[in-house]
Amino acid sequence: MAYDIAAALDLLDLAIGRATEIVEPEVLMPHAQTAKDVRARIGFLGRSVVVALVGGTGSGKSSLLNALAGEEVAATGVVRPTTERPLAWIPANPEPGLTRLLDDLSIGDRVGHDSFGEIAILDLPDTDSVIRSHREVVEYLLPRVDAVIWVLDPEKYNDRLLHRDLLQPLSRYSSQFIFVLNQIDRLSPAEENQVVDDLRRTLEEDGIDNAQLLTIAAAPDSGPRIGIARLSRDLHGKLEAKQVVMKKIIADLREARDGIARTTGVGVGAGTSYDDRWDATANHVTGILVDPMVGDDAAALEAGRQAALRRGGGPIAALTGWYRSTRFARVAGRTHPADKVRLDASAQLTRAASSVTELVADLSFEIGGSFGRVLRGEVVPEGIEQEIGRVVEAASREVGEFRVGAPSWWWRLIGVAQWFLAGAILAGIIWLWADPDSLEPGGDVRPLLLAAGSLVLGLLLRAAIVVAGQRAGRRALLRHVDALRAAVRSRLDRGVGSSIRTRMRTRAEVAGALTELGIVTAALEESL
């Protein structure tokens, strides 16, 4: 895959932008300045040297391109503008940035070469064309190329439009300009010197001092071309100089990458397995907060026992259960055992918070750098303890009050049997009261057997229903604890873990951008 400086800068900007979310922005300023300086550099951000040929009608731009190429690349003419559409003479295997530049400029006519190094020459529309868009293309292009060859001819080198509308407003780019006075074969040596001197004075008036000026004859009427070899050497000299600049830029990008990695504590390609470690910590914290409820099950067992007796304990248990549900019982200070089953983690908050802060401390010291300091500064024990307290309260509201649940069908069946047995006991007692002789030796034992047998059977059924109720209370407690555990864990993830996870995710994005930046800079170095 091919890369260019623009892609490297995009990755550097991404790394800096994401890093500002996890470290102090001021520590990233030197690296942000590096990116700004590279982007502010005038010229094409790539290894190629991009040169624009600019000139008026009949100046010989196309002839100059053909002379540099050593073959017919562009059509030539002197009567009318022949460069109605821009043409690009570019390396046969152009880098992506150069292709994007040509696409942005809508330069579709492209001719590849493999004989002029990494130099690309754009033959642009004539500057004196009546078509306004042609001049706009020239003005848009100037900040995006490495050099501009202004092709002038002895007759129109002082063209008012050229100097007033182009050279004077763009004089700040003069370091990129090469002025070529073409068609000198039509001048005598004295005339040539006079024109050159006059052109230099005019350029100084435009604000362009010490202009690089060459005299050439790209397509002389007779004899060999003049000055083309020197211009070609100058262009290749710019290519060599650009290679030096590009190496410096790549070194700056690598230094910025390494600096961000050191500053943020993001080692390229390094990871901390945060998700797995948070899962373990969150499960541990949830257990600290909720699990004590499982061991303290007396209230749940009593709630289950009362629920079972109220439905299957007979008339006395029913009457007792009704009383406990009345306002009189509450006034007397009796509390239903189900109300005592609640999540009270106040004694465990400090211990739970310490588990989270220990994780953060481990992560911050493993990561180090500014990011580690920021993470430790954000996650403090007092804040975590308060947040966990809010988590517990919210989870308790979400789950609701503890309830034993719907009774088993056979509880009601036993309840009906208890009423019958109570009736049998009462009947036996009445029988004995009506016939006291039955208590004498040899008397009728049936009323005694009826009352005693019903009592024993009722006690046995009561014992069974009590055991069943306690089991139901235990099962209800376990369901309640499971619901609380899920609610607490979910809210821990959202209230505590999400903020840390966001920081770690940002850190991973920074690490990814730096890794990719390392790949791009290595590829750029290799291409040079």
Task: Look at residue 239 and tell me whether its pLDDT is greater than 90.
Answer: no
Q: Which segment of 149-158, 291-300, 464-473 scores lowest on mean pLDDT?
A: 464-473
* pLDDT the model gives residue 27: 85
Provide the pairing of β-strand 119-123 with 87-91.
antiparallel
Token pair 């309640």 in the structure block, residue: 480
Query: Is 150 in a helix, a strand, or coil?
Result: strand
- pLDDT exceeding 70 applies to what percent of the chain? 85
State mean pLDDT over 115-125. Answer: 88
Quick one: fold of 41-226? Rossmann fold (3.40.50)
Say which residues have a Cβ less than 8 Å from residue 498's Cβ, sequence separation at least 6.
Answer: none
In which band, very low, low, confident or very high, does the pLDDT at 81 lie, cut at 50, 70 and 90? very low
* pLDDT the model gives residue 444: 65
State mean pLDDT over 476-498. Answer: 89
Task: Look at residue 246 and tell me whether its pLDDT is greater than 80.
Answer: yes
In which band, very low, low, confident or very high, does the pLDDT at 40 lie, cut at 50, 70 and 90? confident
Spell out the domain ranges in the chain. 41-226, 274-527
Q: Please give the distance of CA 234 from its chain centroid, rounded to a whole number.
A: 46
Say which residues have a Cβ less than 8 Å from residue 456's Cβ, sequence separation at least 6.
Answer: none
Please, what is the angle between helix 446-492 and helix 298-312, to 10°?
140
In which band, very low, low, confident or very high, does the pLDDT at 131 lie, cut at 50, 70 and 90? very low
Q: Which of 297, 355, 308 is nearest to 481 (CA)?
A: 297
* pLDDT the model gives residue 488: 92
Burial zone of 133 (CB within 10 Å; 0-12 exposed, 13-18 middle, 19+ buried): exposed
pLDDT digits (tens, 9 = 90+) for 194-230: 999 999 999 999 999 999 999 999 888 888 999 999 9
* pLDDT the model gives residue 78: 42
Average pLDDT over all residues of the chain: 81
Distance CA 470, CA 468 (A): 5
* pLDDT the model gives residue 442: 61
Distance CA 528, CA 524 (A): 6
Contact predicate 31/20, CB 8 Å: no
169 backbone dihedrals φ, ψ, rounded to 5°: -65, -25
* pLDDT the model gives residue 322: 61
Beta-strand ranges (E) seen in 124-173 are 147-152
State mean pLDDT over 466-492. Answer: 86
Task: Look at residue 329 and tell me whether its pLDDT is greater than 80.
Answer: no
Say which residues have a Cβ less than 8 Å from residue 297's Cβ, sequence separation at least 6.
Answer: 473, 474, 477
Q: Which segment of 58-67, 191-200, 285-294, 436-445 scores lowest on mean pLDDT?
A: 436-445
